[in-house]
Structure formats: C-alpha cells, structure tokens
Structure 1
C-alpha cells in the first residue's frame, strides 16, 4: 500500500474538497487530490489506490475505474449501495475491488427529518400554512406524539437514530427487520413476515430500509388499507419501496392521514408527476440526508476506514447481505 515510503494516493470528489486540509494534516505521507468533473482524466490520477466518492459524473467514474489500474478501494458517501453500478464497476468488483459505504454520516440529519415530518403532520402545519396563504384563521386539533405508536421498517443505523428520538417524545417504537432480531432503541422488533398485522396499530409508519430484491414495491394497496385513516407515512428509504398507483389512490381517497416523501423512483421527480399535487402530501427533493455536520461526519467515517486500510485490516461498511445488495 506504499511506494518508496509514501502512502497511497486518494482521489476525492470536488464537493468534498473542504476535507483536504484536514486529510493532508492527518496523513502527511499520503496524497489527496480532488477530481474535477469538467475535464478529461489527468495523468496524475492514474496511480490512485483509493477513491472517496460523493457526487461524481458517471462517465468520469467509469473512466477512473478503467484507467486507474492500482485502484483497490472505493468508499461511497451514502448509506446504500443500490445506486452504484455499471459494466466497469462490476468488472472491477470481480477483480477484487473493495467498496464500502459511509455508515454513520447521514444518520443524524435523516433521523431529525423523520421526527420533523411526524411532528409536521401531528401539529397540522401543512393545513395551517395553507390557511395562512388564504388569510384564514382556523384552529386544527393536533395529534399527540406522546402515547403514539411508530412503526419503523429498517432497524439499521438510521432506524436506530429515529427510534431513540421518537422514544424520547414518548412514542412506542416498533421495528421491522428481516428476522425480528432485537435492535437498540426499539420497544420491540418483529420479523418482516409479520409486519402487515402491526399497521393498524401505527400512528406513524417510517420506511428507512434499503431497497432489495425482496422488498421492491412491497408497500401496496393492502398496506395502505391496513393503516389508520389518521396515520402518516414517511419514506426516507427508496421510492421503489412503494407501489406508486397505490400511494396515489390512498392519498386521493383519504385512506391515510398524510405522507411525507423524500425519495422517488425517478429523480429528479418529473414536473408532470402525479405525486406533486397529491392532497395531504409533502414532497422534498431527496434532501433528508443534508445537514450542516455532514462534512465532518464523512471525514470521521472515511478516517476510521482509512486507518484500517493503512494497517491492512478489514474495512467496515461493506455489504451485510451481498446476495440482497445491501
């Protein structure tokens, strides 16, 4: 991993350039280079061993994969792997390239978003904001979060961050995962096979699970029908977890109380999408992960793994279930 006493060359995407001073100070024997999206591959990139990837043009990334023959490890600044792919990518993986995710960087802002979404619905802010636009003085009965039940699909790092925050507000938090294995912060956890029976109990339903071949389009009309007519659905997982036709019918038909959606099967969401105008629905443009502390959390996640890489140790953040893609 070193040449002539020097550490590995690390490429980072331009939006992470703010980390360069810290990285160079912490690892003075390593090279760190920000890769520009708007120009051809430079000669200086070709000896890179590591890429820390955030926003990057796919063609540029494919070129790096094809031309950086010493590349051994890619860390992506995301919680999930499903958006990564391509012929060059899979070829390099077959050749032994290691890739990892950033397991902690976005958990805090996403969890805060979820709690904000639940409170937004419980305190009827969308209705009140609409009344303000009409210059209308209305009084709406809010719903207590204390004493409510939250059902969280996904008991990983994001789900756990959601759980303790909801519990602090006095909610009972039930987690759903593949096996029903207990997880910190949850009142109880049930296996995925039993989740449908729990929907009638939930005042809020949170999708914080990775997209896999098993759960694609699992949340369908039967799920909406099983929910309370006052409940809110919050999706911070992936858009393809939900059957769009079922969502549209549920919101237009008043089947559930509200929905807050941050992820969509097609992003950016087309201007003519039916989702824009759904009643009692708040849409945000995949921004739940954005937070003022992200850069430092990304730094901490990368350094934790880079220290392992330099020491020849196993990296963290690899796929837990490779056969399912997460």
Structure 2
C-alpha cells in the first residue's frame, strides 16, 4: 500500500514509520506529485487539499489531517468520494491552554507595561496587579482544549463556566450554560475565551451587543476561528473600551494585513495564530496516525478522531 505524506517529517520519524509498518510504502512529496494518483492514504496539514487534488486522488480512501480544522477544504467534493477523514484533534490542548492562561496572567499582572517600563528604564511601582483567584471565566466551546484551559484556570481558583448548545456537563467546568443563557451570563464573568470551530452556527456569532454586555474590566480572547467575530466589531469594542483587553490568535483573513488598526491598539494583543505550535506537535500527530493506520490495516471500523466532513468536525 502506498501512502503520500506532505507533512515535513524528521528522518527518525520516517525511519520509525518504515520499521513499524514494513508492508507500507511511504512517499514524502508534495500533494501535486504523481504519487497522489496511486496512493491510498494522504497525510497532510490540509492547506494543500484543493479541488484539483481531490479530483486527481483516484485511489485515495483515507485523508489524515495533521491538524484539527477542515473548514477550508472542498467539503462537498470530499463527501462525494466517501473518504475516511481523520484529524489530529486533541494535540493542541496543552500548548493552546498554556497560551491562553499565559495571556490572562500577563494582563492581570501588568506584564506588558512592566516589559515596556524595563525597555525605557522606568521605575514605576504603580503597575496594576489583579488576582485571578475568585474570578469567573466563560469558555465558549468546552471540548478537549476548553476542558484543559478549564483545568488550569481552576488550579488558580477561577470559577469556570462552559458554553455549548446542549448544556451537557463538560470536564473541568464548574457550571454549564446554553445559548439562551449567554447574555445573562456575560455581565458576571471576568474573561471570555472562544475556542469554537468555524461552523454555520458559529460564524460571526459574536456581535457588538455581546461586548456591550461584558464588564468593562473583562478580557476577551479568541483562539478558535477568525470568523467568529468581524474585525470591525472588535475595533468598535476597543474604541469604545467596552472591555479591558482583547487577545486575538485568529483573524478573519490571515496574515493580518499591515494596515489593520489592531496592530496599534494598546488594548489589543495580536498573536499570529501560533498558540497551537509546540515542539510536541508532530510527535503527537504521528502517534494518532500510527494508531489509526494499525486499525486501517486490520480493517477495523472505528478510528481515533474520525471527522464528519460536512459538519466540519
């Protein structure tokens, strides 16, 4: 069996795959390579899965995405081919949760101002210091990543509130709310963290009225998808100082254009979609792939992180 891998892998990982699966031939090429037409499995980050690639992959049966999102794929075309699609959901939880917690702590302890004062050699002991212990955090999308940031926040004494459509309990959430409870909850929380995927239900879900309902002292963080809130809505909220600070790791269009006002807003932190990056990213992805490849070769029917391609997750 031939497998085309477009994800850059270090030599020791390639050797491990070859030794673990001696009956499989791995090809490390770009998606447009001729091996695409002969391969049964494609392992990719996903940014090279175009309509042309789908059309040419005549023998493909399984698409392994070494990331979580599939919203930019030609979904209907892939669904027509009835491929098995799996992803690396769950591998981002540790780096992303650490990043979110780091931003919340940094802003609460005045680190941006402390660092700026250091560069300017300013001795100023009036930098505001806020404790997060006893605060409330609303986590939009308390899944794998949300439950991990919930765990970390709880360790700091933060009361965690999870938001999903069903209201069903989620790990490391002190309480759960549903959409009809959102507006009543916003005035009570000190931080709002969005980790929601991009779906028809979540696209541009967040409006100015949501910022208006929040405390002026609250922090808003978007680490899910850039189309959760329009840039113009964020800018209006920042200009009106509806919240204390906004942290964005994702944007409507990436990279963020150079003339965007977000770069210069002192109450906004621009993070270039790096919260999920980690030195453990590839090893964790490959571990999931290896487990699924064993099941695939054994002709099992249940896989880790199987994706409903039309739902997007």
TM-score range for the pair, normalised by the shorter chain length: over 0.9
* Distance in 1 between residues matched to 2:223 and 2:87, nearest whole Å: 17
Report the CA distance between 1:13 and its aligned residue: 1.3
Question: Which residue does 2:95 correspond to in 1?
Answer: 109
Structure 2: gaps spanning 5 or more residues: none
- 1:41-65 deviation line (CA, Å, top 9, x unaligned): 23x443211111116545xx54442
What are the within-5 Å matches in structure 2 for residues 185-224 of structure 1? 185-224=172-211
Among residues 159, 170, 181, which one is paired with 1:172 in the alignment? 159
| Cα separation, partners in 2 of 1:50 and 1:173, compared to 1, 3 Å | same
Question: Which residue does 2:251 correspond to in 1?
Answer: 264
Among residues 104, 118, 121, which one is paired with 1:135 in the alignment? 121
* Distance in 2 between residues matched to 1:248 and 1:23, nearest whole Å: 48
* Distance in 2 between residues matched to 1:54 and 1:94, nearest whole Å: 21
Using the TM superposition, name which of 132-141 and 185-194 deviates more: 132-141
Give the paired residue count: 310
- 1:273-293 deviation line (CA, Å, top 9, x unaligned): 121112221111110110111
Q: CA RMSD in A?
A: 1.9
Question: Which residue does 2:58 correspond to in 1?
Answer: 69
Report the CA distance between 1:190 and its aligned residue: 1.1
Q: Is the 8 A contact 2:91 2:285 kept in 1?
A: yes
* Distance in 1 between residues matched to 2:38 and 2:311, nearest whole Å: 33
* Distance in 1 between residues matched to 2:231 and 2:215, nearest whole Å: 19
- 1:176-202 deviation line (CA, Å, top 9, x unaligned): 011101011111111122112111111
Q: Is the 8 A contact 1:152 1:173 kept in 2?
A: yes
Question: Which residue does 1:152 correspond to in 2?
Answer: 139
- 1:113-153 deviation line (CA, Å, top 9, x unaligned): 11111111111111222223333222212111111111100
* Distance in 1 between residues matched to 2:77 and 2:215, nearest whole Å: 47
TM-score (norm 1): 0.89
Question: Which residue does 2:307 correspond to in 1?
Answer: 319
Question: Which residue does 2:80 correspond to in 1?
Answer: 94
* Distance in 1 between residues matched to 2:81 and 2:57, nearest whole Å: 13
Question: Which residue does 2:29 correspond to in 1?
Answer: 35
Superposition misfits of 4+ residues, deviation over 4 angstroms = none
Question: Which residue does 1:15 correspond to in 2?
Answer: 8
Report the CA distance between 1:296 and its aligned residue: 1.1
* Distance in 2 between residues matched to 1:210 and 1:169, nearest whole Å: 26
* Distance in 2 between residues matched to 1:206 and 1:165, nearest whole Å: 13
Among residues 210, 227, 237, which one is paired with 1:240 in the alignment? 227
| Cα separation, partners in 2 of 1:213 and 1:201, compared to 1, 3 Å | same
